[in-house]
Amino acid sequence: MMGTIDTSAGRAEPAPARPSARTAIAAAWSGLGHRFRLVAERWRQRRDLSELTDHQLRDIGVTREEARREAARRFWD
């Protein structure tokens, strides 16, 4: 019967590479950009919702009061 030979005995796993400061800063800016786009999109959607007519609101199943409440929410909410 043949066995396998363990060739990794005594070898330590290399530490995972740490991201550079430049990479970390780029990731932070990217995250902020994504957050800004999300906030801007919410603001546009809420503004558009507030401009719909009663007939359009009825078509999507939203009352005027629900649309007003949604449009009044804070941009980060």
Tell me how far the alpha carbon of residue 67 is from its chain's centroid: 24
Q: What pLDDT, on a 0 to 100 scale, did the predictor assign at position 17?
A: 76
Average pLDDT over residues 41-66: 96
Q: What pLDDT, on a 0 to 100 scale, did the predictor assign at position 25?
A: 93
Average pLDDT over residues 60-77: 92
Average pLDDT over residues 34-61: 95
- pTM to 2 decimal places: 0.61
Confidence of residue 16 (pLDDT cuts 50, 70, 90): confident
**Buried b or exposed e, range 19-56, using 16+ CB within 10 angstroms:** eeeeeeeeeeeeeeeeeeeeeeebeeebeebeebeeee
Extents of the domains making up the chain: 23-71
Tell me how far the alpha carbon of residue 8 is from its chain's centroid: 41
Q: What pLDDT, on a 0 to 100 scale, did the predictor assign at position 18?
A: 80
Structure tokens, 18? 């740490």
